[in-house]
Amino acid sequence: MNILPKKNWHVRTKKNIERVRRDEEQAAEEEKERQRRIALAESEARTDLLRQRAKHRQRDDDEEYEGDRQVVEFQARQHVNFFSDIEQGMKQKKVNEEHEKEKKEEKEKWEKSIGLLTYLGQSSVESKTTKPGIYRYSEPPKKKSKEEENMEEDMKRKHSLDPLHKMKEYVEKKKKHKHKDKHKVRQ
């Protein structure tokens, strides 16, 4: 007895399917309206920000023009000393940190390669990146990942099911068979 389609809560009744479709359409419309409002608010905010910057820049340009005239007049009366900040000890010698770091890494790499630099508890063989001779067998062989194994299996399967490959095998067998027959006839 199949009474499930008669239940009003059943998922596949026409009434419930129509209700779900309506709800999805309504949700899509609401999302579209929400995105439109967000875009509108962002564009208005951007426009306001640009207007404020333009007004602020206009005021700064006006003030800067007046200030430049005063600075030029003040400097014309004074002696120009380009090294005043160094004389006063304001500026300190700066080093290029990136360059120093690169030099340190290069030196460390060179020392490791010649065997000079080893860390505490580390043998000279362990410090080298490539292990000589017998030490390469101290590590277990690398296992293939599941993806590599699956790819190999797929390639084998494709190779075995390939009709061109089967035809080539057949042609080779036929050539060998003909070659054997010709060889037997000549003897």
User: Could you give the percent of the chain with pLDDT greater than 90?
Assistant: 26
Structure token digits, residue 88: 């006063």
Q: How many whole angstroms separate alpha carbon 68 and alpha carbon 172?
A: 93
pLDDT band at 103 (very low <50, low <70, confident <90, very high): very high
Name the residue range of residue 70's domain.
Answer: 11-75
- Kindly list the distances between the CA atom of residue 118 and the CA atoms of 108, 153, 168, in Å, as whole numbers in the listed order: 10, 44, 59
Q: How many whole angstroms separate alpha carbon 52 and alpha carbon 131?
A: 66
DSSP single-letter state for residue 88: T
Residue 91 lies in a domain: no
User: What mean pLDDT comes out for the span 1-25?
Assistant: 82
Q: How many whole angstroms separate alpha carbon 29 and alpha carbon 146?
A: 44
Which position has the token pair 């700064």? 60
Q: What is the DSSP string of 40-69?
A: HHHHHHHHHHHHHHHHHHHHHHHHHHHHHH
Are 118 and 127 a contacting pair, CB within 8 Å? yes
Residue at which a domain ends, from 27, 47, 75: 75
Structure token digits, residue 174: 């036929």
Q: Is the pLDDT of residue 136 over 70?
A: no
Q: How many whole angstroms separate alpha carbon 3 and alpha carbon 45?
A: 59
Residue 45 lies in a domain: yes
Q: What is the pLDDT of residue 1?
A: 43
Residue 101 lies in a domain: no
CA dihedral sign of residues 6, 11, 14, 20: positive
Residue 114 lies in a domain: no
Residue 28 lies in a domain: yes
Residue at which a domain ends, from 75, 90, 106: 75
Residue at which a domain ends, from 75, 94, 114: 75
Residue 56 lies in a domain: yes
Q: What is the pTM of this model?
A: 0.30
User: What mean pLDDT comes out for the span 72-88?
Assistant: 69
What is the tens place of the pLDDT at every residue in 15-57?
888 999 999 999 999 999 999 999 999 999 999 999 998 888 8
Q: How many whole angstroms separate alpha carbon 13 and alpha carbon 16?
A: 5
Residue 1 lies in a domain: no
Q: Is the pLDDT of residue 134 over 70?
A: no
Q: Is the pLDDT of residue 120 over 70?
A: no
Domain count, the chain: 2
Q: What is the pLDDT of residue 10?
A: 82
Q: Write down the mean pLDDT value for the chain.
A: 79
Residue 165 lies in a domain: yes
